Structure 1
Amino acid sequence: MKRLYFVAILLLMFIGVKGQQQPQYTQYIFNPLLVNPAVSGIENYVDVKSGYRNQWSGLLGAPITTFFSITAPLGHNFVQGDALQVPDNGDNPIGRSFVQSYRAAEPHHGIGFTAMSDKAGPIRQTNIDVTYAYHIGIGPNLNLSAGVSAGITNISLDASAISVENSQDMAINNANYSQIKPNLNVGVWAYSATYFAGVSVQQLVPQTLSFSTSSVYNQGKTVPHFYITGGYKFFLSDDVSLIPSIMYKIVQPAQNTIDLNMKMAFRDHFWIGGSYRQDDAVAGMIGFTISSFLSVGYSYDYTSSNLNTVSTGTHELVLGIHLGNNGGSGAQRGF
């Protein structure tokens, strides 16, 4: 394998076919903490989520992503979060009656922690971040939060998985196969019982990406990822709600992209949905709120790009555990 081919692999892994360096998620809208730290502590319970994503299944070296997140409020006397919340105990507790009685949150803090591992071919990226947000009510039914997350990113290369024509190739010879970089993300989130909107930036501080000690090969850089998200909750009946949502992603110098999503929930215990990712995939989603303590979601992406000739699609599974979600909006469930 010639040097040029190896460099091309690095570019594809780091930059991706559309220029996105951060992993993508089909069910991000049900765990927005993955892209916006301002949702830290938005619920009045401890929200734990764990997920697994097998992207482009069937393609050798395709991305495998796992993540874990936990977030909790600090404070008391504030109501439940936004239109995406998991219901507490009771009979359809976030139906129309909840919307009619919803009041903006008391000022409070939120904290969280996220860990993510994304492996693509011989390259693995691991992010570990702590998150913080501050929430205030800015109207009778409207809240605003601002958040930040900071931590470290480890980029590692499994050199044993690479074959080169010249073992002394400076692209990898005496290279730094494991590097730790600082990471900083910021965001804002506006929310009520029926709608939400947010803006966030990941990888705010650019870093050099290179495994070589030679200046010839250290031209790679991380770039900021901008996310603009919004959605609205409609009630088709007392038992059925519909949430259309959108995400607009800006990652220069790549083309800007749009994700369109739709979720239909039945008595907030069972939901189905669909997603369209511009020039990439269409997806189907299904989920269950088994109890106020436990929820699970699954999605399948059908690849609409040219990769569909070598891929059988993408599978994503997300498990949610909601500690202290005991019912009674406005009840104290903070630390």
Structure 2
Amino acid sequence: MNVINPAYATDDNDIINFGLIYRSQWVGAVGSPTTGSFFAHSKFGNIEGGISIVHDQIGDVVKDTNIFFDAAYVFPVSENTKLSLGIKAGLSFYSTDFNGFVYSDPLPDPAFAENINRVFPNFGGGAYYFSDKFYLGISAPNLLKSKHLEEGSGIVIEGSEETHFFATGGYVFDINEKIKLKPAFMTKAVSGAPLSIDITTNALYNQKFELGIGYRIDDGISGLFNIRVAESLRIGYAYDYTVSNLGRFNSGTHEIMFLFDLSKKGNGYDKSPRFF
């Protein structure tokens, strides 16, 4: 969550959370994207801090690595609720490599003749309102628009990364002593693209097994599971199938995740963690 919202708060001073996620999107499509992510965050008093590293790759041509640091301050609002306000700042390392392309003669687009290596600074912000039972968040992780390609050699070539806005929310229902149910949503808005809305429902059994289903309106359906394989380690898998026309050209999206909790005091893992 802290990848898209720097205000995300674990609200646990004793635990450092780590995560590794690998996502292979639109498997079977030529030049399909892949994403590898690492994150770590923890709370120190009223300050929540973290780091996220996200590497996106489109085929063998485009690579984009983002390294960001997060900081948030957590305010008590009432006896049971808190508000976290956070910022993130970092660098994006963007490169293209067209050396492996076999071109026709004449070259159809001179843009493909030039490799690019650029570094872009960026920053973002967010707010996160939560209790032990629910959360609501809004964020914009990249407030600066980045032009990846620009005028050169007399040719105007432009590609930019627009600001993304996110809204998230969820609520945890205790069905009984062993089962928890969490409906949630995530909305993403970006200029030039349709509004993206994800609706999910996850169930947690005995703090060990988690199953979930999701639907992205007019785009895809998904399913996930994860299991606590050790006191401090959870391993999960998710599958996303595209129901739009794009689904005819790929066999779906696969995601693998490893989530690790490290105790600062050597007291083991959090035996009753929040379900978000």
**Alignment TM-score, normalising by the size of structure 2:** 0.90
Shift of 1:214: 4.6
- Please list every run of at least 4 consecutive aligned residues from structure 1 whose deviation after the TM superposition is greater than 4 angstroms: none
Q: Which amino acid aligns with 1:39?
A: Y
Deviation at 1:167, TM superposition (A): 5.4
Letter of the structure 1 residue corresponding to residue 53 of structure 2: A
Q: Counterpart of 1:315 in structure 2: which amino acid?
A: H
Deviation of 1:321 (Å): 0.8
The counterpart of 2:55, out of the listed 114, 117, 133, is 117
Report Cα offsets for 1:305-335 as digits up to 9, x if no partner.
Answer: 2222221111101101100054478xxxxxx
RMSD between superposed Cα atoms in Å: 2.0
Structure 1's unaligned 5+ residue stretches are 1-31, 76-107, 330-335
Aligned to 1:39: 8
Change (3 A) 1:215 1:271: farther
Q: Which residue type is aligned with residue 42 of structure 1?
A: D
- Per-residue deviation, residues 190-249 of structure 1 (Å, max 9, x unmatched): 110100000000220112121652564343222110000000011111111100000111
1:59 pairs with 2:29: yes
Q: Please say if 1:258 is aligned against 2:197.
A: yes
Pick aligned residue for 2:258 from 319, 324, 327: 319
Cα distance change of structure 1 residues 212 and 62 upon mapping to structure 2, 3 Å threshold = farther
Secondary structure at 1:34's aligned position in 2?
coil
Distance in structure 2 (CA, Å) of the matches to 1:169 and 1:273: 45
Contact 2:261-2:269 at 8 Å conserved across structures: no
Instruction: Please point out which of 71, 74, 99 is paired with 2:41.
Output: 71
Q: Is the 8 A contact 1:41 1:133 kept in 2?
A: no
Distance 2:86 2:206 in 1: 31
Q: Confirm whether residue 171 of structure 1 aligns to residue 171 of structure 2.
A: no
Checking the alignment, whether the CA contact within 8 Å between 1:40 and 1:112 is kept in structure 2 is no
Shift of 1:159: 1.3
Q: 2:133 matched to 1:194? A: yes
Structure 2 contact 98–115 (Cα < 8 Å) conserved = no
Q: Is the 8 A contact 1:115 1:129 kept in 2?
A: yes
Partner Cα separation in structure 1 for residue 108 and residue 227 of structure 2: 54
How far apart are the structure 1 equivalents of 2:219 and 2:153?
A: 35
Following TM superposition, by how much is the alpha carbon of 1:281 offset from its aligned partner in structure 2, in angstroms?
A: 1.2
SS in structure 2 at match of 1:43:
coil
Which of 98, 101, 105 matches 1:162? 101
Per-residue deviation, 1:185: 1.6
Q: Within 5 Å, give how 1:201-212 maps onto structure 2.
A: 201-210=140-149
| Equivalent residue letter for 2:126 | G
Q: Distance in 1 between matches of 2:10 and 2:124?
A: 16
Matched letter for residue 196 of structure 1: Y
- Structure 2 distance, partners of 1:155, 1:327, is 38
Q: List per-residue Cα deviations over 1:241-267 (Å, max 9, x = no partner).
A: 100000111111211110001101111
In 2, Cα distance between equivalents of 1:157 and 1:56: 20
TM-score relative to the length of structure 1: 0.75
Greater helix percent: which structure?
1
1:218-257 correspondence runs (5 A): 218-257=157-196
The 1:327/1:130 distance shift into structure 2, 3 A limit, reads: closer
Paired residues in the alignment total 266
Partner SS for 1:263: strand
Kept after mapping to 2: 8 A contact 1:111/1:133: yes
1: CA distance, partners of 2:109 / 2:201: 49
Distance 1:294 1:138 in 2: 32
Greater relative contact order (CA < 8 Å, ≥ 6 in sequence)? 1
Residue 162 of structure 1: how far off its partner (Å): 2.8
Give the number of the structure whose residues are more often strand, by fraction. 2
Q: 2 CA distance for matches of 1:111 and 1:148?
A: 10
The 2-side partners of 1:232 and 1:249 are apart by 19
Written as runs of structure 1 = structure 2, the 5 A alignment for 1:103-142 is: 108-121=46-59, 122-142=61-81
Quick one: which amino acid aligns to residue 254 of structure 2?
H
